[in-house]
């Protein structure tokens, strides 16, 4: 799977500026600049201007579809926020560690953005691991490969990798660090079995994955995966749960992911924080299906949330901010994205591209990105009751090779170029609210 990841590129950007330059923008758009996206994150959210009358789309669609009240959508789950400390004059990592009752070496391990720990500056952001606050014991570190066939609670840091074999085994690190030396090994390897739990571990400094886990009912709870050479946590599990973890700054020189599921079914990924991972924050890949991703936060990753060859999954109440792309869906079908937020991402808020079908995007928000929602090379998807305001380029963009998609009861206002574009064929636009549009 890792080799396959290295072969993949980032999601393609649709060639829409030429199409816009060839046409006329309706309803008083300020004009089309025709340039490529600049490396900015777009405008921040602003106060909306008065809402124009809804645009019903083509007369055939408006006349054959009965009017209804737009969906309000579910109340999104509360996405977690990290505990951070902004450096002030006179601060040092040692002083910050004392202030938050975290062992200094642990604080250094979870903040790999400071390659020289003594060099921090006012305004820098230091992440604080709640799991390591007030650690009860700091005994002598153990070393080497630790092989577990029964449950264990650490009483000190461990310098070396951990291998878990068998079923009904729990590794509770109790806030201690499982520390690697950069060698080409997994930090924690779960070799199949069932009902294995890994919790309250800080896994850092390994050349491969922070954790690689297989088996049925695998549970990852309140761990930190930081500064590993490959993915933070890579799971292939049936009926597992990944909850309350933080995965950040893994593999800065590789296309790596904070939390990735491959070939998994009925997996729950809930209330995690992923930050600064080179390729993606959270990804469902390689046949992952019937899984739920709820209430997670993706911050400053390549792709905040990525679905590729993943069908029938549900994403609700997640937040993607300041990533390159917020949510991307590729070569996947039958997924539901509902009540998610993608604001201030560098390019797309939500992107369906390259062979997606029968996905539903409902009651999502994409403000202050380059594009709000894009559909490119995908058929038969439904976008309803979504909001895309103050995006620098386009609010809703349906690209070439996209057909039979339905966009209804959406709102897109104050886009930098135009609020909606249809460059596909046979798409249905019903009772949307746009200020400007093109291609209908």
For the chain, how many residues are written?
A: 440
Phi, psi for residue 100 in degrees, rounded to 5: -100, 5
Q: What is the pLDDT of residues 57-70, one digit of tens each?
A: 432 333 333 333 43
Sheet holding 142-143, edge to edge: 142-143, 158-159, 177-179, 202-204, 224-226, 246-248, 273-275, 297-299, 319-321, 341-343
Residue recorded with tokens 């080497």: 144
By mean pLDDT, which of 1-5, 241-245, 274-278, 312-316 is the weakest? 1-5
Q: What is the pLDDT of residues 35-86, one digit of tens each?
A: 333 333 333 333 333 333 343 343 233 333 333 343 444 444 567 889 999 9
Alpha helices in 35-103 (DSSP H): 59-64, 93-100
β-pairing, 202-204 vs 224-226, is parallel
Q: How far is CA 189 from CA 147, 179, 229, 235, 236, in A?
A: 10, 14, 15, 10, 12
Q: What is the pLDDT of residues 210-254, one digit of tens each?
A: 999 999 999 999 999 999 999 999 999 999 999 999 999 998 667
β-pairing, 152-153 vs 170-172, is parallel
| C-alpha–C-alpha distance, residues 200 and 298, integer Å | 20
β-pairing, 394-398 vs 152-153, is unpaired
CB 352 within 8 A of CB 333: no
Domains, the chain, with CATH or none:
38-76+317-440 (no CATH), 84-132 (3.10.350.10)
Q: Is the dihedral of CA 230, 267, 295, 309 positive or negative?
A: positive
- DSSP codes joined into one string, 171-205: EE-TT-EEE--S-SS-SEEE-S-BS-EEES-EEE-
On average, the pLDDT of the chain sits at 85
């Amino acid at each position: 799977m890792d080799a396959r990841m290295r072969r993949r590129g980032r999601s393609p950007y649709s060639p829409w500026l030429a199409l816009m330059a060839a046409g006329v923008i309706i309803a008083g758009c300020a004009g089309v600049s025709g340039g490529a996206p600049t490396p900015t994150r777009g405008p921040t959210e602003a106060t909306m201007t008065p809402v124009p009358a809804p645009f019903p789309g083509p007369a055939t669609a408006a006349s054959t579809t009965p009017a209804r009240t737009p969906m309000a959508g579910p109340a999104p789950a509360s996405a977690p926020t990290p505990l951070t400390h902004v450096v002030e004059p006179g601060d040092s990592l040692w002083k910050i560690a004392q202030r938050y009752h975290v062992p200094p070496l642990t604080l250094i391990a979870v903040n790999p953005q400071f390659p020289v720990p003594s060099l921090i500056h006012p305004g820098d952001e230091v992440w604080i691991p709640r799991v390591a606050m007030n650690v009860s014991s700091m005994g002598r570190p153990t070393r080497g490969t630790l092989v577990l066939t029964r449950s264990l609670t650490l009483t000190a840091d461990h310098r070396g990798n951990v291998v878990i074999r068998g079923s009904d085994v729990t590794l509770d690190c109790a806030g201690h660090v499982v520390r690697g030396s950069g060698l080409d090994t997994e930090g924690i390897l779960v070799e199949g079995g069932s009902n294995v739990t890994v919790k309250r571990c800080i896994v850092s400094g390994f050349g491969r994955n922070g954790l690689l886990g297989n088996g049925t009912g695998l549970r990852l709870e309140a761990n930190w995966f930081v500064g590993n050479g490959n993915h933070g946590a890579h799971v292939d599990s049936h009926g597992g749960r990944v909850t309350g973890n933080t995965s950040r700054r893994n593999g800065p020189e590789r296309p790596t992911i904070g939390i990735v599921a491959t070939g998994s079914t009925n997996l729950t990924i809930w209330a995690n924080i992923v930050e600064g991972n080179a390729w993606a924050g959270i990804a469902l890949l390689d046949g992952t299906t019937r899984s739920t991703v709820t209430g997670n936060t993706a911050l400053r990753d390549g792709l905040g949330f990525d679905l590729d060859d993943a069908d029938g999954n549900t994403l609700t109440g997640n937040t993607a901010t300041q990533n390159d792309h917020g949510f991307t869906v590729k070569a996947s079908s039958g997924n539901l994205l509902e009540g998610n937020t993608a604001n201030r991402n560098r390019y797309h808020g939500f992107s369906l591209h390259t062979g997606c079908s029968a996905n539903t995007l409902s009651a999502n928000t994409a403000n202050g990105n380059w594009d709000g929602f894009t559909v490119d090379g995908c058929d038969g998807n439904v976008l309803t009751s979504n909001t895309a305001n103050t995006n620098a380029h386009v609010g809703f963009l349906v690209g070439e090779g996209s057909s039979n998609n339905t966009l209804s009861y959406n709102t897109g206002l104050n886009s930098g170029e135009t609020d909606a574009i249809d460059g596909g064929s046979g798409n249905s636009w019903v009772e949307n609210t746009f200020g400007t549009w093109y291609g209908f």
